[in-house]
Chain A
Amino acid sequence: MNRQRAVFLVKNILRVLLLVICVSIVTFALMKASPVDPLQANVGQAALGSMSREQKEKLQEYWGVDTPPVEQYLSWAEDFIRGDMGISLLYRQPVASVIAVKLANSLFLMAMAWVISGILGFALGVISGMNRGRPADKVIRGYCLLISSTPVFWLALLLLMVFGVWLGIFPIGLSVPIGVEAGGVTFADRLYHAVLPALTLSITGVSNIALHTREKMIDIMESDYVLFARMRGETGWRLFKYYGFRNVLFPAVTLQFASISEIFGGSVLVEQVFSYPGLGQAAVSAGLGSDMPLLMAITIVSALFVFGGNLTANLLYGVIDPRVRRGGGTK
């Protein structure tokens, strides 16, 4: 049984590696296909001027016309694995250090939103599913429909308008106060600046998990074992505690791990509206400014997170579900 688990684990990890490699190939190919030549497009940029000869040659190697594409990719990939992701043309710094800073900002934001939306969505889904057809269910479903129909960036605009401009409670942009040295930024400052973006992400993240949890909850409520539990006199909270909770929690947790991609995507839009200097905003700038090395690195990093989330979801199932854990398989 342990061997089986080990094989499962190795298989999954290999698949993730293969997927990441393919993502990098496709990304590289897309960048190569672009009619925009990053060196040409950024010729006036100070970054190019400040680069060493060696660095410029490397860029030529990736993007130059003289080497065949496969070789270009391999040479780029080799450097990438060694940690040399190239120089960002927009930020005039090594891509790796740009990503380190931006990712730290974004992770803070996304982790907050991920946890809040997960818990809130789960609770709403459970309430909705257990009260199917009643007013509470209708309100929650209406909210989910509305939220999944609302573009994230517009919701961000609305919140910015209300809390930032009208009420003036929260700052309009940036992750830290302007004009304060990096060392002088307190945790409270960061929190304060991340509240609105995180709130936006949480509000939108709720709908997906809530709707899924609701469906699961309804399935569970209609299952034979809940029917029997009801015939044994269980109702309300006890019914949920002993029969609903475990059965609905596993799929919800799995889903939340598998939905990292959406939070990542949402953060791109939200960071843009709140001028929050995270990975998403960097991705937009890189795209608009044809900063290919940065854009590619961001794509690969976010793919790593997404696949990592999926992998965790898969493995988690084996850990928490006794049917898998105790090796009974499905009977």
Chain B
Amino acid sequence: MRKLNRRQRVLLGLGFSAAFLIVVCIWGSLGTEAARATDFSRKNIPPCLQYPFGTDWLGRDMLVRTVKGLSISILIGITAAAVSAVIALLLGIASATMGKAVDSVISFVIDLIMGVPHILLLILISVAMGKGLKGVIVGVAVTHWPSLARLIRAEVLQLKEMPYIKIAGKLGKSRWYIAVKHMLPHLLPQFIVGLVLLFPHAILHESSITFLGFGLSTEQPAIGIVLSEAMKYLVTGKWWLALFPGLFLVVTVVLFYVMGQSLRKLLDPGSVHQ
């Protein structure tokens, strides 16, 4: 096989990551019943051929639970990250275009959000929303936008100063025309990359907050809950309960990072240099 150059390798990695995530999501949403099925005749089995991830104290298949948990977490993460990204886009653009007062208010809000440790903020929001699935999604969605908003703000500010955009304005092109024709093509790649790179953070925080016991019920075995249950049985030596679900969570997050960075490499004009 001929040696692939860097862009082709990046594309290959991107395709593989996307495929993995889609498979997990579909498999997970199909296996809802199987994830809850208890069977006391097969409890506490260490990993073996039939149950590669082992079973827990209720005889539930950990592989099925892991996939189910991941799919829940991925879906929540994607939803929350998408909401966050939209907030970031709107506030970033508003910050850069609507004058100094708006800009300083938004940057003050960003400082405010960054001022409280993220997990603590999620706990506060969860408590405010009465602890539950809603609290987790809202919490993750409204706390992840600051970094992307800053990025978009900086980008828009830079674009505004570009000679060709200034000239377009002087030539009497409407603001809408300039925004769509000249700014969007530059912002869109940044936005997409930012969006993808929000997922890993969202998923990590979602799993953390559910691990702490806020949010989802045990009926909805998100990966954080699967792991927090596993923690109770850790001391008894049932290592597989914590190892495999966590490992798969890590793999998922890594894939999101890889996807984000691959996209950045493909979309970044600077990457023309080898």
Contacts and interface: CB of A to CB of B under 8 A. Distances in A.
User: Direct contact between A and B in the complex (CB less than 8 angstroms)?
Assistant: yes
A298 B120 contact: yes
A322 interface: no
B128 A149 contact: no
B214 A302 contact: no
Interface residues of B, number: 42
Nearest to A291: B127
Nearest to B125: A30
B172 interface: no
Contacts of B120: 264-265, 268, 283, 298-299, 302
Nearest to B201: A148
Contact of B250 (A23, A146, A280): A146
A126 interface: no
A272 interface: yes
A116 interface: no
A269 B249 contact: no
Contact of A295 (B112, B124, B250): B124
Contacts of A303: 115-116
Contact of A284 (B115, B116, B207, B213): B213
Contact of A172 (B112, B128, B235): B235
A194 interface: no
Main secondary structure of the interface of B (DSSP, over half): helix
B253 A149 contact: yes
Contacts of A265: 117-120
Nearest to A155: B246
B230 A157 contact: yes
Interface stretch (A31-39, A60-68, A177-185): A31-39
B123 interface: yes
Contact-residue size bin, chain A (C-beta under 8 Å from the other chain): 35 or more
A262 B117 contact: yes
B35 to A, nearest CB: 20
A14 to B, nearest CB: 12
Given A157-B242, A295-B127, A261 B257 contact: no
A298 B117 CA distance: 11
B227 interface: yes
A190 B151 CA distance: 43
A330 B124 CA distance: 42
Interface string A226-270: 000000000000000000000000000000000001101100110
Shortest Cβ-Cβ A-B pairs, 9 listed = A265-B117, A149-B253, A154-B246, A30-B128, A264-B117, A287-B123, A35-B130, A265-B119, A149-B254
Interface of B: 108, 111-112, 114-120, 123-131, 200, 204, 207-208, 211-214, 227, 230-231, 234-235, 237, 239, 242-243, 246, 249-250, 253-254, 257
Interface of A: 19-20, 22-23, 26-27, 30-31, 33-36, 145-146, 148-154, 157-158, 160-161, 165, 172, 261-262, 264-265, 268-269, 272-273, 280, 283-284, 287-288, 290, 292, 295, 298-299, 302-303, 306-307
29 contacts: A19-B112, A30-B127, A31-B128, A33-B128, A145-B257, A146-B254, A149-B253, A151-B211, A151-B246, A151-B249, A153-B212, A154-B227, A154-B246, A157-B227, A157-B230, A158-B246, A161-B239, A165-B234, A261-B116, A261-B117, A268-B123, A269-B211, A269-B212, A273-B231, A280-B119, A283-B120, A284-B123, A288-B213, A302-B120
